[in-house]
Structure 1
């Protein structure tokens, strides 16, 4: 059985897309906020791999093609931003300082918790890029001496949590301005949070898309500085 899956070109691709499709269907039918399609897909794939006794390397060999779509998908996020360019120009400084505050909050919280729990430098820098997109986060983690595989997992968890609870957090603190909501989701939970922002509205989606790129660049610089703190 394992040999069959290792020789299959589309095994990993099929179960990944199928699991995500089932996640979308479950959320549509049940309408429960915590039923995030990405989270459900991750759980489903783990269960399938364990039941069929297929190791990750075998699965990834046929699922890696999905990763090639990450770059064009990210580029496509520029479309809603272009459509809201005038709004961005009118609120440039608010947007800039909003993203800056989000990046500093992310890096500062990681430093505070790492210090509190006595994490090693390697563990600390592994967590620093938790709120930026995977493509940038892996590079930052490797450059600083972190464990890139754990960084990927942390980035995914951060994105899923932001997607699930981000909207409720904004409502809890009375944040209803579309620009502020979009910036918070994009800065805190990268592309997965942006998917939620696009569901909330065009303005939220555009600001969240902008946050991915700008917060990524700021984190590259900021993480290098914060890495020296511990």
Structure 2
């Protein structure tokens, strides 16, 4: 009862209600642009600006559930286990696709940072944009990056991947569930996997595998690329 009455928890409850509202809007409108997370971010930012509520207080309220990020990511292994027999048949193609996508993403960001003359801090913050928040912020912290920028880059990448994945697959005529899963998991991490699970169980399982392997590969290559 005390937790409910504690006003410091109010931002948390408001954020949850706004997210549920975003889900309601998405179900009604049926448009990829009406992404619940995007709706929540826009509404919360506007609310903070209009009310003048301190961002530090809002962040403190969110810490009570931020620990859920890691176990939620681990739970992605469940659909992977369920589709294990199917995945064994095409594991070479899957790993090749994940590796190619991960390496291409890292070098694309590196080249962009060099062309735009970004400093080392900003470069270190943007490179892990295509992996989960838990892994991305950990890598960023180890190399002196800005965790806030990394988190923002990861969220934006996930939202964009979730929104444009369906029309992009149609445009490029990518119909195979394994190919869709590799693309979504490698490029758009958890948000992409959420979209993949809407398509099929197999697509979701491949996407779960992709985000996991892409995260591991990024962790291995990230320090090496920072030396370039």
CA distance in structure 1 between the partners assigned to 2:158 and 2:65 by the alignment:
18
Question: Secondary structure of 1:10's match?
Answer: helix
2:202 maps to what in 1?
A: 203
What CA deviation, in whole Å up to 9, does each residue of 1:44-98 have, x standing for no partner? 1111222221111111222222212222222221111111001111111111111
Q: CA deviation at 1:218?
A: 0.3
Cα RMSD between the aligned structures? 1.2
2:113 maps to what in 1?
A: 114
Q: CA deviation at 1:190?
A: 0.6
Contact 2:9 2:61 in 1 (8 A): yes
Contact 2:35 2:159 in 1 (8 A): yes
1:3 maps to what in 2?
A: none
Provide the aligned length of Structure 1 versus Structure 2: 223
Question: Secondary structure of 1:162's match?
Answer: helix
Q: Which runs of 4+ in 1 moved over 2 A?
A: none
Question: Secondary structure of 1:176's match?
Answer: coil
TM-score by length of 2: 0.94
Contact 1:12 1:61 in 2 (8 A): no
Question: Secondary structure of 1:228's match?
Answer: coil
1:77 maps to what in 2?
A: 76
Contact 1:8 1:62 in 2 (8 A): no
CA distance in structure 1 between the partners assigned to 2:121 and 2:18 by the alignment:
33
CA distance in structure 2 between the partners assigned to 1:133 and 1:225 by the alignment:
20
Structure 2 unaligned spans of 5+:
1-5
CA distance in structure 1 between the partners assigned to 2:194 and 2:133 by the alignment:
15
CA distance in structure 1 between the partners assigned to 2:58 and 2:125 by the alignment:
25
What CA deviation, in whole Å up to 9, does each residue of 1:147-201 have, x standing for no partner? 1111111100000000100222222111111001011101101101111001111
CA distance in structure 2 between the partners assigned to 1:221 and 1:140 by the alignment:
10
CA distance in structure 2 between the partners assigned to 1:201 and 1:192 by the alignment:
15
